[in-house]
Chain A
C-alpha cells in the first residue's frame, strides 16, 4: 500500500528512544576526547559513535547531515555518525529494539510536546528561523483570501493540525480540517480546496504535478502571525550536561556540513540522491535542487547560520500548545534551550 508520511511518528521515536540511547551507550569523557574543529582528524579508533535520527526520509532537507557524514566532516570532528533511516511504520517497541539515538532533528512544536510530556530533552541548536509551512488554494477554486476559506475543507497532515487550527481560530474561520496522509493527491484531485504544504517540499511537488505558481494562492503561516519555528537539534538534557563537547562538535560539524552543501549544491544533491535511491525512495534532482535553494533561504539567509532560539518564539509556540490543551504547563525556557556555542571552523580559503 502506498504511504509516505505519518508526521508524529518521528516525535514518538524521539520521545521514547533518547532515554534508552543514554542508558545503552557509554558516555564519552569530554575532557579526554572530542578534538576541536581546529585539531587534526582523530584516528578512526578514537572516533566516538553517534547516532542521529532525522524526522523524515532521506532528501535534501537533511543534506547537511548526509554531506557531513559522506565528506568526512563528522570524522574530522572525531565522530562516527550513523544516520538512522526514517521509517514511517516505526512503532515504539520496534524502535527500542533497533538501538539508540543520540541526537534528533525535530520541529519546535513537536519537541515542546515531548518535553512537556516528561521526556527531558533539550534544544542545543535552532537552525530554522522561519516557518516554511503554508496553506495553498487553487485560484480556480475561488478561495483567494483567508476569509474565503470560511466553511471550506482543508486537507491537513495528521498530527500537524495545531498550527492550522490556531490560524483558523486567530482569524475566526470555520474550516473543516480533513486529516490527510503525506501526499497532496486529495488536493490535486479537488477532494479538498485547501491543503498545507512546506515551501521547500510539497509546494514544489504541486508545481511539478502541473500547477503553475500563478494558479495558486499561497498563505505563509509566518506571514499570518504563526511563525512556528521548525528544525532544531535535540538531545537528552543528561547528555548535554555530561558531554557538552560532543554536543558542540555535533552542531559544529553539522553546520559545516550545511555550509559545504551551500558551497557545492550539485555535489550535495548527488549524495542525497544516493541515499534516497538506496532506500528506494522516489527522488529527482530538480526537486532536491529546489529544496536546497529553499533551505539556503531558511537556514543560511545572509550567508551565515543562526542557531539561537529566541525566548519569545519559544513562548509563543508553547503558549499555543497550552491554550489548545496539548500541554498542561509550559516548560521553563532555560530548561528547554541549552545551546552550545557554534564553533564553526573557517573555510580553508577564508
Chain B
C-alpha cells in the first residue's frame, strides 16, 4: 500500500501516526458496519421486490390473456360456422356482418378467400365490415386493387397454418387508435382433402390493453409497457414511443447492450422478475425491470421499478447512519488529538531538553511530570541519565588528560627505541666490502623487534636480529636490554655462539616477567667472506647467492634467549662469495595477514626473493615491504616487521654494483 506507507513515513510525528492509525481503524470498522447494514436492508427490499414484481406482472398477464381469449373466441367460433356452411357468397357476407353485430368489442372484420374458391374463376374475393359512426359499413373488394394475398394478416396465418395475432398498427379510420388483428385460417374438405380456403379476421382496439397496463402503478415513476413479438412498443406511458420505437431501437439510442438482451429475452417468451440495467425512458434513471410473456400472441409485458424510490427508505436510513457516524468519527478525532497531544507534550519537551544536553547544557531543566505513569518513569530515567552524564563527562575529562599524557610518553619511548637501533644508511660508507640495509616497522607505538650491527674490529662485522615475545612497552624495554647486553657481550667475547650464550645467561637471571627473545647473531669476516653465526629460536635467515640460488641458512632447532639459564647454543659457518646476500627477517613479515586472515607465508617471501635476487639490499627490502603492503591491503599490521639485508662485495664492489645498477 504505497499511499499508506507514504502517509505513515518514518519522518511523521508520533501524534500524527497515532491519530491516523486510530482514526483509520475506527473509520474502517464503522464503514464495514454501515455497509453490512445497507447490504442487508437492500437485499431484503430486493427480495420483497422480486415477489412483488412477480405477482404484479403475472396478474397483468392473466388479465391480458383473459381479454385476448375473449376476443379469440369470436372469430374462432365464426370460423367453425363458416367452415360448416354452404360456402355461398351471400352466406359469407351474412355471417361476417353477424360477427360485428353480435360483438361490439370488435371494430372490424374481414373475410378473404383464395382465388376461385366460389368456382367463379375470380382471383379476389374479400369482404370487409367496419364500424363507422355507429353503423356497420360493408365493403367488397374483388378487383385486385387491394392485393390482400401478401398482407401479413392473410399470409402469415396461411403460411404458418394457425391463427395469429398481427403486429399492432395505427388505424386512422378508427380515429388513430392502436389495433391488432386476429386472423383465423379457414379450411374446407374438398375431395377428402383439408384445404386452406381463406382467412377470417377480427380487428380489435388495444385501448383495453393500454388501460390494464396503465393501471400498473409502481411508486411514483414506475410503469408498465408491452412489446409485440417484434419488440415494437405497443403501450407505454410516453405516447411517442408507441408504435414508433422497438425495445431494440431504444437500446440502440441508449447504447445499452443489457437492454437489447432484455428485449431479446422478452420477445423469446422468457420471464424474469429482477433485472437491473433498464434505464427508465421517462427520467433516464436506472431501474429494475420485471417481464413475463403473454403467451397467446407472443407479446411480452414489462414492469419498470424505480430503484431510487424502492430504495428511498433504505437510502435515507443509510444517509442518516452515515451522518451520525461522521459526527461520531469527528468526535473521536477530537478526543484522539487531545489525548495524543497531552501524551506527547512532555515527550516534545524532553526532546528539546535532550538537544540542549547534547549541546553541553547539562543543567537544562526537565519538564515537570505530575502523573505517575510511564511518562514519569521516562522523566526520572532522563533525570538520572542527565546526572550520570554530567559525572561521566567530568570523569572523561580526567581520563582523557591522563591518556594524553601516556600517549605522549609512549611517543617519546618510541623515539628513544628507534634511536637505539642504527638507522643511518649506508652505515659504513668507508667499507667497500659490504653494503647493508635494515628497517623496523613497529606494530604498536613501541615494538619488541630489534636489529643491530657494528664492527667488532676493522674486519669483523657483527649483526643481529631478534624478536621479543609480547608487544608494547614491556617488549620494547626487554628489547632495549637485549640490545644493550649484545653490545656489551660482543665487545668482550669472540664468537656468535658465545655472544648468545652470554646474552642468555644475563637475561635468564631474574627474568620474573618470563619474557624471552628469539635471536640471531652473525659475524662476517670482511676479508674472506667467512660468516659465523648462531641462532636462538629465530626464523632462519635467507642466503641469496650471486647465481640466484635462494635458501635458508643451515640451523639447528634451538630455543629462544631468556628461557633456560644454562642453555648452550651451536655455532655454524658458511662462506659468502662476492655478490652473495643475506636476508634476515622477523615473523612479522611471514605472518602478515590479508583481509581473510591468510598469512603472507615463507613460500611467498622465498619466491619473491628468488625472483629479484640481483637487487641490492635497500631495493630488496623496499620490494618486500611493498609486496607485504599490497598483500595486507587495509588490514592493520598486527606484529612488528623487521628486515635486514647484507651484501658481500669483497674486493669487487665497483664491478658488482656496476653490473647490477646498470
How far is it, in angstroms, between the C-alpha of A285 and the C-alpha of B250 when the chains are bound? Answer: 9
Query: What is the CB-to-nearest-CB distance from B355 to chain A, in angstroms, rounded to a whole number?
Result: 73
Does A322 belong to the interface (CB within 8 Å)?
Answer: no
Q: Mark B189-222, 1 if CB is under 8 A from A, else 0.
A: 0000000000000010000000000000000000
Contacting pair A210 B231 (CB below 8 A): yes
Q: Please give, as numbers and ranges, the residues of chain B lying within 8 Å of A179 by CB-CB distance.
A: 149-150
Q: Please give, as numbers and ranges, the residues of chain B lying within 8 Å of A158 by CB-CB distance.
A: 147, 150
Contacting pair B152 A2 (CB below 8 A): yes
> Which of B58-66, B240-248, B588-596 is the contact stretch?
B240-248
Contacting pair A209 B156 (CB below 8 A): no
Query: What is the CB-to-nearest-CB distance from B235 to chain A, in angstroms, rounded to a whole number?
Result: 15
Contacting pair A284 B249 (CB below 8 A): yes
Contacting pair A191 B159 (CB below 8 A): yes
Does A6 belong to the interface (CB within 8 Å)?
Answer: yes
How far is it, in angstroms, between the C-alpha of A75 and the C-alpha of B547 when the chains are bound? Answer: 127
Does B487 belong to the interface (CB within 8 Å)?
Answer: no
Query: What is the CB-to-nearest-CB distance from B410 to chain A, in angstroms, rounded to a whole number?
Result: 99
Q: Which of A284-298 contact B (CB under 8 A)?
A: 284-287
Q: Mark A181-209, 1 if CB is under 8 A from B, else 0.
A: 10101101111100000000000000111
* Chain B interface residue bracket vs A: 35 or more
Name B151's contact: one of A3, A190, A285 (CB within 8 Å). A3
Name B150's contact: one of A181, A212, A283, A284 (CB within 8 Å). A181
Contacting pair B176 A280 (CB below 8 A): yes
How far is it, in angstroms, between the C-alpha of A315 and the C-alpha of B656 when the chains are bound? Answer: 123
Q: Please give, as numbers and ranges, the residues of chain A lying within 8 Å of B172 by CB-CB distance.
A: 280
Query: What is the CB-to-nearest-CB distance from B262 to chain A, in angstroms, rounded to a whole number?
Result: 11
Does B524 belong to the interface (CB within 8 Å)?
Answer: no
Q: Which of A155-195 contact B (CB under 8 A)?
A: 158, 178-181, 183, 185-186, 188-192
Q: Please give, as numbers and ranges, the residues of chain A lying within 8 Å of B155 by CB-CB distance.
A: 180-181, 186, 191
Does B253 belong to the interface (CB within 8 Å)?
Answer: yes
Contacting pair A280 B181 (CB below 8 A): no
How far is it, in angstroms, between the C-alpha of A315 and the C-alpha of B153 when the chains are bound? Answer: 40
Contacting pair A189 B231 (CB below 8 A): no
How far is it, in angstroms, between the C-alpha of A207 and the C-alpha of B156 when the chains are bound? Answer: 20
Does A1 belong to the interface (CB within 8 Å)?
Answer: yes
Q: Which residue of A89, A207, A212, A282 has the most chain B CB atoms within 10 A of its CB atom?
A: A282
How far is it, in angstroms, between the C-alpha of A297 and the C-alpha of B147 when the chains are bound? Answer: 34
Contacting pair A188 B230 (CB below 8 A): yes
Q: Which residue of B159, B167, B232 has the most chain A CB atoms within 10 A of its CB atom?
A: B159
How far is it, in angstroms, between the C-alpha of A189 and the C-alpha of B163 when the chains are bound? Answer: 13
How far is it, in angstroms, between the C-alpha of A74 and the C-alpha of B523 when the chains are bound? Answer: 137
Q: Please give, as numbers and ranges, the residues of chain A lying within 8 Å of B159 by CB-CB distance.
A: 178, 186, 191-192
Closest to A5 in B: B150
Query: What is the CB-to-nearest-CB distance from A266 to chain B, in angstroms, rounded to a whole number?
Result: 12
Contacting pair B230 A210 (CB below 8 A): yes
Query: What is the CB-to-nearest-CB distance from B103 to chain A, in angstroms, rounded to a whole number?
Result: 18
Does B267 belong to the interface (CB within 8 Å)?
Answer: yes
Contacting pair A183 B167 (CB below 8 A): yes
Q: Please give, as numbers and ranges, the residues of chain B lying within 8 Å of A207 by CB-CB distance.
A: 248
Query: What is the CB-to-nearest-CB distance from A106 to chain B, in angstroms, rounded to a whole number?
Result: 20
Contact A1 B151, CB 8 Å, known A282-B244, A285-B253:
yes
Q: Please give, as numbers and ranges, the residues of chain A lying within 8 Å of B252 by CB-CB distance.
A: 208, 286
How far is it, in angstroms, between the C-alpha of A186 and the C-alpha of B230 when the chains are bound? Answer: 11
Contact A210 B244, CB 8 Å, known A2-B167, A2-B181, A186-B155:
no
How far is it, in angstroms, between the C-alpha of A91 and the C-alpha of B147 when the chains are bound? Answer: 13
Interface class of chain B by DSSP? mixed
Contact A186 B231, CB 8 Å, known A209-B246, A210-B248, A286-B249:
no
Contacting pair B231 A208 (CB below 8 A): yes
Does B145 belong to the interface (CB within 8 Å)?
Answer: yes
Query: What is the CB-to-nearest-CB distance from A155 to chain B, in angstroms, rounded to a whole number?
Result: 9
Closest to A209 in B: B230
Q: Please give, as numbers and ranges, the residues of chain A lying within 8 Å of B264 by CB-CB distance.
A: 210, 212
How far is it, in angstroms, between the C-alpha of A282 and the C-alpha of B178 when the chains are bound? Answer: 12
How far is it, in angstroms, between the C-alpha of A209 and the C-alpha of B145 when the chains are bound? Answer: 30
Closest to A179 in B: B150
Contact A1 B110, CB 8 Å, known A189-B160, A208-B231, A286-B253:
yes
Q: How many residue pairs bridge A and B at CB < 8 Å? A: 97
Contact A284 B167, CB 8 Å, known A2-B151, A181-B150, A186-B152:
no
Q: Which of B526-559 contact A (CB under 8 A)?
A: none
Query: What is the CB-to-nearest-CB distance from A267 to chain B, in angstroms, rounded to a whole number?
Result: 17
Does B482 belong to the interface (CB within 8 Å)?
Answer: no
Query: What is the CB-to-nearest-CB distance from B128 to chain A, in angstroms, rounded to a whole number?
Result: 7
Q: Which residue of A1, A2, A280 has the most chain B CB atoms within 10 A of its CB atom?
A: A1
How far is it, in angstroms, between the C-alpha of A285 and the C-alpha of B254 when the chains are bound? Answer: 12
Contacting pair B246 A208 (CB below 8 A): yes
Q: Please give, as numbers and ranges, the residues of chain A lying within 8 Å of B166 by CB-CB distance.
A: 2
Q: Mark B624-656, 1 if CB is under 8 A from A, else 0.
A: 000000000000000000000000000000000
Contacting pair B230 A181 (CB below 8 A): no
How far is it, in angstroms, between the C-alpha of A246 and the C-alpha of B253 when the chains are bound? Answer: 40
Closest to B252 in A: A286
Contact A181 B151, CB 8 Å, known A1-B181, A91-B145:
yes
Closest to A192 in B: B159
Does B318 belong to the interface (CB within 8 Å)?
Answer: no
Q: Please give, as numbers and ranges, the residues of chain A lying within 8 Å of B110 by CB-CB distance.
A: 1
Q: Mark B245-269, 1 if CB is under 8 A from A, else 0.
A: 1101110110000000001100110
How far is it, in angstroms, between the C-alpha of A213 and the C-alpha of B244 when the chains are bound? Answer: 21
Q: Please give, as numbers and ranges, the residues of chain B lying within 8 Å of A282 by CB-CB distance.
A: 170, 232, 243-244
Contacting pair A1 B249 (CB below 8 A): no
Contacting pair B249 A208 (CB below 8 A): yes
Q: Please give, as numbers and ranges, the residues of chain A lying within 8 Å of B600 by CB-CB distance.
A: none
Contacting pair A185 B156 (CB below 8 A): yes
Q: Which residue of B150, B169, B176 has the most chain A CB atoms within 10 A of its CB atom?
A: B150
Contacting pair B246 A284 (CB below 8 A): yes
Closest to A215 in B: B264
Q: Which residue of A178, A189, A280, A283 has the most chain B CB atoms within 10 A of its CB atom?
A: A189
Q: Please give, as numbers and ranges, the residues of chain A lying within 8 Å of B156 by CB-CB distance.
A: 185-186, 189, 191
Q: Which of B129-159 contact A (CB under 8 A)?
A: 145-153, 155-156, 159
Contacting pair B243 A208 (CB below 8 A): no
Query: What is the CB-to-nearest-CB distance from A178 to chain B, in angstroms, rounded to a whole number?
Result: 8
How far is it, in angstroms, between the C-alpha of A212 and the C-alpha of B263 when the chains are bound? Answer: 12
Query: What is the CB-to-nearest-CB distance from B25 to chain A, in angstroms, rounded to a whole number?
Result: 51
Q: Please give, as numbers and ranges, the residues of chain B lying within 8 Å of A190 by CB-CB distance.
A: 160
Name A287's contact: one of B147, B170, B203, B249 (CB within 8 Å). B249
Closest to A158 in B: B150
How far is it, in angstroms, between the C-alpha of A285 and the C-alpha of B268 when the chains are bound? Answer: 25
Query: What is the CB-to-nearest-CB distance from B183 to chain A, in angstroms, rounded to a whole number?
Result: 11
Q: Please give, as numbers and ranges, the residues of chain B lying within 8 Å of A210 by CB-CB distance.
A: 230-231, 246, 248, 263-264, 267-268
New A-B contacts (8) at CB < 8 Å, excluding given A2-B166, A183-B167, A192-B159:
A1-B128, A1-B151, A6-B147, A181-B152, A209-B231, A209-B248, A280-B172, A282-B243
Can you give 21 contacting A-B residue pairs, CB < 8 Å?
A1-B151, A1-B153, A1-B181, A1-B203, A3-B146, A158-B147, A158-B150, A181-B151, A185-B230, A186-B159, A188-B230, A189-B160, A207-B248, A209-B232, A210-B263, A212-B264, A282-B170, A284-B246, A284-B249, A285-B249, A286-B245
**A-B interface, 10 closest residue pairs, ranked by CB to CB distance from nearest:** A191-B159, A286-B249, A209-B230, A208-B248, A2-B169, A181-B150, A286-B252, A284-B249, A284-B245, A208-B246
Interface residues of B (CB under 8 A from A): 110, 128, 145-153, 155-156, 159-160, 164, 166-167, 169-170, 172, 176, 181, 203, 229-232, 243-246, 248-250, 252-253, 263-264, 267-268
Interface residues of A (CB under 8 A from B): 1-3, 6, 89, 91, 158, 178-181, 183, 185-186, 188-192, 207-210, 212, 280, 282-287
